[in-house]
Structure 1
Amino acid sequence: MRIVVAIGGNALIAEGEEGTWPQQLAHARVVAEQLVDLREAGHELVLTHGNGPHVGLLLLQQALGSSEAPELPLDALIAMTQGEVGYLLETAFGEVDPQVPVTTVLTRVVVDPATAAPPTKPVGPFYTEAEAGRLAVERGWDVAPDAGRGWRRVVGSPRPLRILGCEQIRSLMDAGTVVIAGGGGGIPIVEDDDRSHPQGFAGVIDKDRCSAELAVAVDADLLVLLTGVRRVALDFGTRWERQLARVTVSDAVRGLAEGEFPAGSMGPKIESATRFIESTDGAAVIASAEHLADAVAGEDGTRIVADRHGPSVVAQKLCVEVAR
């Protein structure tokens, strides 16, 4: 089975951590151990990853060091994080099994610049509301609350249109290589009409949306979207919360329309999963990094499926259809 696994940036730098290299490597090893097992079971793997914490820290470092060194454009910083996190994941694989061939591919993604406003993509560390307000004034940042966890800087997040280099990614997969691609949602570029002069664009692509496009382009069978919770839930955070074991595309789309899956948290994952399923014969699963292998096996996480493979079911009561 050909699997695209999207690893969230916050899965590598957990909330409340400093984000030291040993901390990130410990998190990456948890994922790498399971991925090695999946590869040994015969699966072909492409990994993507987020970069919200990483690119945010680079932006912060640039702001603090602007008097000493010239600032780089945001698309260049995203390229830097592709190398940084790619190296991190390759190191984790090497510690688990140095015989596994792993390659990081610098990946550019054509975007629609008209979709980048208003800024919505959180990057960098968390702040209190007061701290965020002060930094917004001092540094000209856009800031916003992030899923009840605090306030963060936000930047534009253009929609991906086309991923460059998919032929090379497929060739590497055919040769048995674990490929790390589309890091940080990809390096955003815009093209002119004849595609002769691509230019970098100042924005951060949502890594789940990029992962869905990549999964379609490489003919993946399964799209795995890793997050900080084991399953998608209805009425999240209330006394009526129900965790889902399986949800159909129709129910997922309905939940998005009704605000069940907010744009700042689960929304992009649900949207990306439905995009992939509607374009292929595959399925998608949303799960935590610690339960990756079980999620691939259908024993954990929330599986998003075509309507013909329904109905939607609650995890605690696997024969109960989700209330509509």
Structure 2
Amino acid sequence: MRIVLALGGNALLARGQALTAENQRENIVKAAASIASIAKEHEIVIVHGNGPQVGLLMEQNSAYQEYSPETTPYPMDVLGSQTCGMVGYMLQQELRNINAELNIATLVTQTQVSKDDPAFANPTKFVGPVYTEERAKEIMAESDKIFKADGEYYRRVVPSPMPTAIVEKQQIETLLNTGNVVIACGGGGVPVCAEGDRLVGVECVIDKDLTGELLAETINADLFIILTDGSIYRNFGKEDQAEMKVATPEGLSHFNFPAGSMGPKVDAVCKFVESGRGNAAIGSLFELDRIITNEAGTLITQGEGIEYY
């Protein structure tokens, strides 16, 4: 079976953990163990997040510019490509440490977006360090950056457009067809757009799960899995919460899931199922082998209604 796995942020950094190489490595070792357990029986593409990692690089850029004002910060597309290499390196190394017979390749992948996407007219995605209102206004006066209030501080906001194409789709296919576990589209892919016959980097953030869905469609995956904290629940956190075993896009349409957490994930899996290419699932990274057999997590398939555990 050809499977696209979208790794949530908890696979790289647990809530409350400091963003150190040691902590990231420790979490990646656990993630690699789950993925390696299924990698010999299936064709696997791994898409991972990079939000905290890009944020850290942005802070380091900002701190260095204070020391050296003539050193302008690197743009977000370049920082995104850096994190693809960093996280991909750790993942491929730990996968091989678990099973030296696995062939693993990390591919820095460009994801194309449209300049006409309405997201560019209304940047909403917070990135980078926090600033006082005074300092944020100073930066806005000196540059084209946009800042908005995030609690009592201000942070930069950038657009989050829809992904439209995976530039290196053929390379991903070639690597899969020659027996590789492929790590691709890290952080949603390096954002680029077309200027005539050229591709150029864009200052934006692409949702990892939406890129994972697009990739799953593009390479005709049989299964698209978003690995996060757990299954989809009805009334999560309330006394009558119930864990979904099997759900359909039609059944899920009757619920409102939080926009900042489960909402985009549900949208992504439903989009893949509605494409008619295969099924999708949402569940815990550490139950991956059981998600594939529908013994854990929530399977999303065509049809009507919802089945609970």
TM-score with structure 2 setting the length: 0.88
Q: Is the 8 A contact 1:189 1:199 kept in 2?
A: yes
Q: Is the 8 A contact 2:111 2:190 kept in 1?
A: yes
How far the C-alpha of 1:236 sits from its partner, in A, is 2.1
How far the C-alpha of 1:190 sits from its partner, in A, is 1.2
Residue 143 of structure 2 corresponds to none
Say if 1:222 and 1:133 are closer, same or farther in 2 by CA, change over 3 A: farther
Residue 109 of structure 2 corresponds to 107
Residue 200 of structure 1 corresponds to 201
Cα deviation per residue 1:61-87 (whole Å; 9 max; x = unaligned)?
111211323211111111111111111
Alignment of 1:53-202 (within 5 A): 53-67=52-66, 68=68, 69-113=71-115, 114-117=117-120, 118-123=122-127, 141-144=147-150, 154-192=157-195, 195-202=196-203
Q: Is the 8 A contact 1:39 1:45 kept in 2?
A: yes
Q: Is the 8 A contact 2:246 2:300 kept in 1?
A: yes
Q: For 2:14, give the aligned amino acid.
A: A
Residue 44 of structure 2 corresponds to 45
How far the C-alpha of 1:123 sits from its partner, in A, is 4.1
Q: For 2:30, give the aligned amino acid.
A: V
Say if 1:243 and 1:198 are closer, same or farther in 2 by CA, change over 3 A: same
Q: Is the 8 A contact 1:143 1:154 kept in 2?
A: no
Q: Is the 8 A contact 1:115 1:157 kept in 2?
A: no
The answer for unaligned runs of 5 or more in structure 1 is: 316-324
Q: For 1:174, give the aligned amino acid.
A: N
Q: Distance in 2 between matches of 1:133 and 1:288?
A: 39
Q: Does 1:271 align with 2:267?
A: yes
Percent sequence identity over matched residues? Answer: 36
Cα deviation per residue 1:194-250 (whole Å; 9 max; x = unaligned)?
x502211100100000000000011100001011x2111122222232221111111
Residue 319 of structure 1 corresponds to none
Q: Distance in 1 between matches of 2:135 and 2:245?
A: 41
Q: For 1:198, give the aligned amino acid.
A: L
Alignment of 1:197-276 (within 5 A): 197-227=198-228, 229-255=229-255, 260-276=256-272
Q: 1:296 aligns with which of 267, 292, 299?
A: 292
Say if 1:314 and 1:123 are closer, same or farther in 2 by CA, change over 3 A: farther
How far the C-alpha of 1:152 sits from its partner, in A, is 7.3
Q: Is the 8 A contact 1:110 1:189 kept in 2?
A: yes
Any idea what SS the aligned residue of 2:18 has? coil
How far the C-alpha of 1:7 sits from its partner, in A, is 0.7
Q: Is the 8 A contact 1:52 1:122 kept in 2?
A: no
How many residues matched?
A: 297
173-182 vs 57-66, which moves further:
57-66
112-121 vs 78-87, which moves further:
112-121
The answer for unaligned runs of 5 or more in structure 2 is: 141-146
Q: Is the 8 A contact 2:225 2:281 kept in 1?
A: yes
How far the C-alpha of 1:120 sits from its partner, in A, is 3.3
Q: Is the 8 A contact 1:54 1:124 kept in 2?
A: no
Residue 7 of structure 1 corresponds to 7
How far the C-alpha of 1:171 sits from its partner, in A, is 1.0
Say if 1:223 and 1:94 are closer, same or farther in 2 by CA, change over 3 A: same
Q: For 2:189, give the aligned amino acid.
A: G
Q: Is the 8 A contact 1:121 1:206 kept in 2?
A: no
Q: Distance in 2 between matches of 1:14 and 1:304?
A: 26
Q: Is the 8 A contact 1:231 1:286 kept in 2?
A: yes
Q: Distance in 2 between matches of 1:135 and 1:240?
A: 46
How far the C-alpha of 1:137 sits from its partner, in A, is 5.8
How far the C-alpha of 1:8 sits from its partner, in A, is 1.7
Q: Is the 8 A contact 2:221 2:277 kept in 1?
A: no
How far the C-alpha of 1:142 sits from its partner, in A, is 3.1
Cα deviation per residue 1:256-306 (whole Å; 9 max; x = unaligned)?
xxxx11221111111111111111331111112121221122111111111
